[in-house]
Amino acid sequence: MSGDLVFYGFAALAVLAGFVVVFARNVVHAGFALMFTLIGVAGLYALLGADFLAVTQTVVYIGGILVLVLFAVMMTRIPRQEHSRRGLDRMVPAGVFAIGLFALLYKVITGTAWPVSDPGEAIPTTKAIGIELLTNYVFPFEFTSLVLLVAMIGAAILIRERRPEPPAPVAEVAAVDGDPDLGVSE
Amino acid sequence: MTVGLPHFLTVGALLFSLGIFAMMTRRNAVALLMGVELILNGANVNFVAVSRYVDHGVDGHLMALFVIALAAAEAAVGLAIVLAMFRNFGTVHVDTVNRLKG
pLDDT string in tens for chain B (102-residue length): 688 889 999 999 999 999 999 999 888 889 999 999 999 999 999 999 999 998 888 899 999 999 999 999 999 999 999 988 888 888 888 888 877 776
Q: How many distinct structural domains can be found in chain A?
A: 2
Q: Would A107 be classed as within a structural domain?
A: no
Residue A165 burial by Cβ neighbours in a 10 Å radius (0-12, 13-18, 19+): exposed
Q: Would A174 be classed as within a structural domain?
A: no
Q: Which residue has the higher pLDDT, A12 or A122?
A: A12
**Any chain A CB within 8 A of the CB of B32?**
no
Closest C-alpha among A39, A29, A33 to residue A62: A39
Among A4-8, A84-88, A127-131, B34-38, the range scoring the smallest mean pLDDT is A84-88
Res A134: pLDDT:
93
Q: Would A104 be classed as within a structural domain?
A: no
Q: Which residues of B touch A117 (CB under 8 A)?
A: 53-54, 56
Residue A84 has pLDDT above 90, yes or no: no
Helix (H, G, I), strand (E, B) or coil at A135: coil
- Between helix A2-23 and helix B5-25 the angle, nearest 10°, is 10
Question: Are A129 and A69 members of one domain?
Answer: no
Res B28: pLDDT:
87
pLDDT, chain A, mean: 83
Res A18: pLDDT:
94
Q: Would A146 be classed as within a structural domain?
A: yes
Domain of A140?
Answer: 123-163
**Which one of A102, A133, A151 has the shortest CB-CB distance to B62?**
A133
Q: What is the pLDDT of residues B83-93, one digit of tens each?
A: 888 888 888 88
Q: Would A101 be classed as within a structural domain?
A: no
Q: Which residues of A touch B54 (CB under 8 A)?
A: 114-117
Question: Are A70 and A1 members of one domain?
Answer: yes
Domain boundary among A9, A44, A76: A76
Pick the CATH number of B5-89 from 1.10.1060.10, 1.20.1440.230, 3.30.70.920, 1.10.287.3510: 1.10.287.3510
CATH code, domain carrying A20? 1.20.120.1200
Closest C-alpha among A10, A45, A85 to residue B96: A85
Res A37: pLDDT:
95
Q: What is the pLDDT of residues A108-139, one digit of tens each?
A: 999 988 888 877 778 888 999 999 999 999 99
Contact B13 A50 (CB under 8 A): no
Question: Are A71 and A139 members of one domain?
Answer: no
Query: Chain A: nearest CA to B102, how far in angstroms?
Result: 23
Cα B24 → chain centroid: 13
**Which one of B17, B18, B77 has the shortest CB-CB distance to A155?**
B77
ipTM: 0.90
Q: Would A184 be classed as within a structural domain?
A: no
Res A138: pLDDT:
94
Contact A158 B81 (CB under 8 A): yes
Res B86: pLDDT:
87
CA dist list (Å): A61 to A68, A126, B34: 10, 19, 11
**Any chain A CB within 8 A of the CB of B89?**
no
Q: Would A94 be classed as within a structural domain?
A: no
Q: Would A152 be classed as within a structural domain?
A: yes
Res A169: pLDDT:
58
